[in-house]
Chain A
Amino acid sequence: MKSSGVIGRTLGWVDDRTGLVAVTEHAMFHKVPRSAKWWYVFGSATLMFFIVQLVTGVLLTTLFVPSAAEAYQSLVYIDEKIPMGWMLRALHGWSSNAMCIMMLIHMTQIFLHGTYKYPRELTWVAGVALCVTTLGLAFTGQIMRWDANAYWGLGIGAAIVDRVPLIGNWLRSVVLGGPDISGATLSRFFALHVFILPGTAIGLIGLHLILVLKGGISEMPKVGQPVEPETYREEYEGRVKKTGVPFFPDAARRDMVFCGAALIGLIGLAAWYGPFGPGPLPSPTIIEVAPRPDGLFLWLFAVLALLPPDTETFLILVGPPVGIAFLAALPFISPRGERAPSRRPISVIILCIIVTALAVLTWLGETSPWSPVMKAWTSIPTPVEYVRGRSPLELQGAIQLQYAQCRNCHSIGGEGGERGPALDDVATRLNWDQLVRQIQQGGGNMPAYGKNLSSAETEALVAFLSTLDGGHLPARIPGAMERQPGRDQSPTADPRAEGESDADADTVAAR
């Protein structure tokens, strides 16, 4: 410290005893490339949201009771009785999402700009470890919400761990803290969420920042300026010395603007949308729930639904470690060469594929067309036009369609499950015999109803389904047509003609 006066002398004393002032000075005023502009703000924003998480998280531990008997009530109490308690939970929840999003954008930018190459390999590796830790914090945070999603989410986690060969059952007991999901499980995940993972994150962030300072902030990639480990350091340092600017305040201005705006945005989101959950009670006896993970993990939920069952266990257990190992190994696979995206088309294509896949899987996870709509059979009525003027047998079939929970998986009139095909024009695809066969024997993703429906019920159901031609003329299969009860009436007896347009009436009459 060169400055004199009380402050200068104090800083000098502190630096003499700790060496911290010089370190801080170096961190603040070290030179960074002039080209480090708006692309470089996302790492700072991730760190800022992490600090928000630490502060709100510590406060939440003073209010949250990590006991399975009281956690839910303590959350409700925080939301409803503690002044601004709901805002504290909202900030923690929204900041968690924001941190993950900023982290992913930061990672994407580093990947896209080839910043992980020499000499910043270990900065990237520490970043990958931070990514895994952050996702771990997000998952365990969902457990802290101790509602039905948390309980059944743990069940899903337990079922995945259970698939580990040989030691799965043992490992599951270690993870759950016992033979079943219980108070011990919440305690274990609490320890992970508030001690182990944040401690790991703080250590890794420290390491990450030290490595950033050691390797220097990268320049924007330039075509024709490849990374050559033999000469890179010298050239980089030469350029930064000549044209670089001090991190504070020159480069930090943009970080400050972005972080400030992001923080205000966070407060706005938290105030407007409020906290996440808690949802329904975490009771194993309440089974009328459809557990869903938080948005960040919806893609995983989709993957677990869509993987072929034969490969599922292998891919669930081997996929994530291999993926993480590949990410961590990236700088060692590709330590040199061009950094500019325009010269790294394969990297850009891989990135596009990953982003598209995650986006599509997240969308699929959100809509989850593979999930039966469990209440469809009682809560969604049969559209009037589908039953208007049907014969008694066909009407009985319409009742059967609701009663046998067909609509949990099949929609008609645009409402119902999407697990099976919509039935609005099923008669154009399957004739009478094929319908009977499909109902009796199942096939595809459909269970066989052979033992569960009497022949009279099946006949009624098929009679009704045979009327669902979507306004199209059903395929004429002579043998099949003759056996359709209710179909061998005179065409004018088909009451759908009533009130319909002439064209439709003609179509019906043509039968």
Chain B
Amino acid sequence: MSERPSEESTGVDSASANSSEADGCEGCEAAKGGGRRGFLFAAGTTLLTVGGGLAAVPIVGVAIGPAEAGDPNRWISLGKATDFKIGETVLVKFTNPWDSPTDGDTNENVCYVRCIDHATFQVFAVTCAHLGCPVEWFAQSRLFMCPCHGGVYYEDGARASGPPPRGLYEYVWRVEDGSFEILGGRLPGLQEST
């Protein structure tokens, strides 16, 4: 409304030196007065800034907290390594170690375990590397096919055809005391290393 903000902003800066937010604000006239009025304005600006900053800690914390929660991956046992049949690829259920009381069905998860021999495995995520639809394993043609956009993968997870930019995501696995375990918890995505 007024044509004056550029002139006033210098006055504001001197009155509330630490508050960059006061730049060009309306009502900055109050700060111009100096003395008690200037002090009150500066105090008000400072208190609101500090208060807002403190309130922002839990607000921003909860909003972005899930991304800052650390590595959600844990070792998950999928049974005995010797229970998998050599040469077969099977769908295996597991419970996500990262859970909350309201997760319901979403807490259950699945992956494909390909047993090459009892010391060599491949574990694939069911999500297509294109856009995350669930791929289906066809043991007869030894292919994974995606029902959404037609991505196809070979039995070793390599991309065979269609729009996926890479092969299937793989879980890291290990055999501990005969127990076959995968490192799971995070939904695999393009920016994962595996």
Contact = CB atoms under 8 A, between A and B. Distances in A.
Contacts of B52: none
Contacts of B142: 451-452
Given A155-B132, A287-B126, A182 B152 contact: no
Contact of A285 (B72, B109, B155): B109
Nearest to B142: A452
B177 interface: no
A159 interface: yes
Q: DSSP class of A's interface residues: helix, strand, loop or mixed? A: loop
Contact of A181 (B110, B135, B163, B187): B187
Contacts of B155: 452
Contacts of A408: 138, 145
Contacts of B140: 377, 403-405
A502 interface: no
Q: DSSP class of B's interface residues: helix, strand, loop or mixed? A: loop
Contacts of A159: 127, 130-132, 189-190
Interface string B118-161: 00000000110011111110101111011111101011000011
Interface stretch (B14-22, B30-38, B99-107): B99-107
Nearest to B162: A445
A328 B135 CA distance: 39
B149 A371 contact: yes
A158 B161 CA distance: 22
B1 interface: no
Contact of A180 (B96, B143, B149): B96
A180 B99 CA distance: 9
Given A287-B134, A405-B140, A168 B190 contact: yes
A168 B189 contact: yes
Interface residues of A, number: 72
A183 B150 contact: no
Given A371-B147, A371-B149, A452-B143, A182 B189 contact: no
A409 B145 CA distance: 10
A176 B66 contact: yes
Most chain-B Cβ atoms within 10 A of its Cβ — which of A172, A284, A313, A452?
A284
Given A69-B103, A174-B67, A162 B72 contact: no
Given A285-B110, A404-B141, A162 B149 contact: no
Nearest to B73: A179
Most chain-B Cβ atoms within 10 A of its Cβ — which of A281, A285, A301, A419?
A285
B189 A289 contact: no
Nearest to B70: A179
B161 to A, nearest CB: 5
A177 interface: yes
A202 interface: no
Nearest to A178: B66
B189 A291 contact: no
A58 interface: no
Interface in B21-70: 63-64, 66-67, 69
Contacts of A183: 100-104, 106
> Which 5 residue pairs spanning A and B have beta carbons closest together?
A69-B104, A447-B160, A183-B102, A173-B67, A155-B132
Given A444-B161, A447-B143, 8 more contacts: A69-B101, A152-B133, A172-B189, A174-B67, A282-B104, A290-B148, A309-B165, A405-B140
29 contacts: A68-B102, A152-B132, A159-B132, A159-B189, A163-B190, A176-B66, A176-B187, A178-B72, A183-B100, A183-B106, A184-B102, A283-B106, A283-B108, A284-B126, A285-B105, A287-B126, A288-B136, A291-B147, A305-B150, A370-B149, A372-B147, A372-B152, A404-B141, A405-B143, A406-B141, A442-B160, A445-B161, A449-B141, A451-B154
